[in-house]
Amino acid sequence: MTKARLEVRQAETGDIRRIAALAKRVYEDFAPYTQGEIRGQLNNYPEGCFVAVLDDKLVGYCATMRIGGDKALRPHTWDEITGNGYGSRHDAKGDWLYGYEMVVDPKVRGTRIGRRLYEERRFLAEQLELKGIVFGGRMPNFKRSYRRVKDPQEYLDQVIAGKIHDPVLRFQLANGFEPLGILPKYLPEDVKSRGNAVHMVWRNPWVDQEASPQARVPRGVENVRVATCQLQARAVKDFDEFMGQVRYFVDVASDYEADFILFPELFTLMLLSAEEEELSPLESIERLSEYTPRIRDALSEMALKYNINIIGGSHPTRMEDGDIHNVAMVCLRDGSIHEQEKIHPTPNEAYWWNIRGGDAVDVIQTDCGPIGVLICYDSEFPELARRLADEGARIIFVPFCTDSRQGYMRVRYCSAARAIENQVYMVMSGNVGNLPNVANMDIQYAQSCILTPCDFPFARDGIAAEATENVETLTISDVNLADLAWARAEGTVRNLADRRFDLYRIEWEHREGATAAEPSGPPPMHQHGPGGG
């Protein structure tokens, strides 16, 4: 018995690189998909994304989401309906499937890969008893024929009549789809179609098309236990004593069967108390960056040993280009290690420590679903959290370091706003106590907490749990990810679904060799802390 050559299956996060490469080969005239966009498509509705693998090579991909007929059947653009390509407009109670991507390697034409992917969509719609499938179909021969016809509608009519050949439209018509009309300006980048698309629909013959939608999102249970460590800054004699403090809280969180533990921003600064002499701010950061390999190895070993995902606050780290960045090490219990750089250093960090900002923020896949990390000041820039939500994040961790109540409240209020705007959980962790003889780290203020959206399934005040202010402690709470799915589909307000993509959207620049912007404005007026928040 020989191995099957062709497999059509649900797409997985491990396929993302190959999907991006396939789309880049096929869409030579389009800006390529970013891996973040594909990650969002898979995370936002994994059941609707399929790949075809032929002889171990990925040769086909399609992306689909559920959506209501009020959106699917009226005029729209591709950006508007898909949430700018992330599939973030997915509606868990939508009564239609919307197909917004179908790509097949031209080298395997004749093997009916496209037809097989269409069949997977159709089977999904029938299995869920949805009303049908909708999409905007390309018309790639319109550009060469548009002088022969007065408008896209006449072009479509002549294709249907067999007077003009369009391989894409003929394929869709042959697969049982019927045109509803033309979608002008559907995808301006589609030069061959002159930006137009044909509004295609397939109606499920097994359901009553006139029946009112009855789908409800089940208020199920998908519990994740989260621990946030409010860590006391204290003098330590060496690296082992410092890691012993960290290990203690990891052990306790593991005993409580927590899935995640979050440590504060710059929690490694207490290592500087072991120095024989007080170092200047620049010398301090240089010295700390030397600990990076040991910290990474220690946290990764703990994550495996204690079976818990560790978000290692943040630590100054020297990058390949020689700059120092403020980096969160995310060590998962499967042994993998991820990093998220702080995008926006505070003026204090930039001036006294010469810390530079990173240039990418993306979700991290975990055994509890996709998560994001926004280090302190980053939580005050709503574009970053929105990008993480588009990529599918349901929990965003915010390690912070603030020296005053004002700084803390900036981070707290902004994190609460991000929870509401994106219908996600926000987990905050800060340092408390004092570090004498450590430059730029004199005093700390924190009240670590776990914040929720504000709607009926959640805590009355949007706080799942919070620590007593300025006391070393571990705060633990269960959060139900299924409540987020309910809120996004049936909540009192639906911030993600109700965005006006016809008016505004966020574009993320991807530049090779990007460098962080220089600090703006005058130098900070004092040197009392990192100026977090």
Return the active site residues: 265, 342, 376
| Burial status of residue 74 (CB atoms within 10 A of its CB: 0-12, 13-18, 19 or more) | exposed
Q: Which of 371, 273, 336 is nearest to 43 (CA)?
A: 371
Whether residue 339 contacts residue 315, with contact meaning beta carbons closer than 8 Å, is answered with no
Tokens of 53: 């693998």
C-alpha Rg value of the chain to the nearest Å: 26
Q: Where are the beta strands (DSSP E) in 237-308?
A: 260-262
The Cα–Cα gap between 533 and 517 comes to 19
Q: Please, what sign has the CA dihedral across residues 114, 120, 126, 131? A: negative
Residue of 264, 258, 260 whose CA lies nearest to 309:
260
Q: Report the side by side order of strands in the sheet with 6-10.
A: 6-10, 50-54, 57-67, 96-104, 132-137, 197-203, 178-183
CB of 177 within 8 A of CB of 200? yes
Which residues have a Cβ under 8 Å from the Cβ of 2 and sit 6 or more positions away? none
Among 279, 219, 99, 196, residue whose Cα is nearest residue 491:
219
Run of H or E residues at 50: strand 50-54
Tell me which residue has tokens 């994740």.
Answer: 224
Give the helix ranges, DSSP H, for 256-291: 281-289
Q: Distance from CA of residue 167 to its chain's centroid?
A: 36
Q: How far is 529 from 533, CA to CA, in rounded Å?
A: 11
Q: What's the token pair of residue 241? A: 């004593």
CA separation for the pair 365, 371 (Å, rounded): 7
Among 408, 384, 409, CA closest to 396: 384
Residue 411, amino acid:
V
Q: How many CA atoms lie within 13 A of 341 on its CB side?
A: 16
Q: What is the C-alpha to C-alpha distance for residues 126 and 122, in angstroms, rounded to an integer?
A: 6
Question: Could you tell me which of 483, 433, 431, 482 has the C-alpha nearest to residue 228?
Answer: 431
* Per-residue tokens: 95: 């009564």
What residues does 352 pair with on adjacent strands?
none
**Quick one: DSSP state of residue 193?**
T
Query: Which residues in 443-458 are b (16+ Cβ under 10 Å) and which e?
Result: bbbbbbbbbbbbbeeb
Residue 488 identity (one-letter amino acid)? R
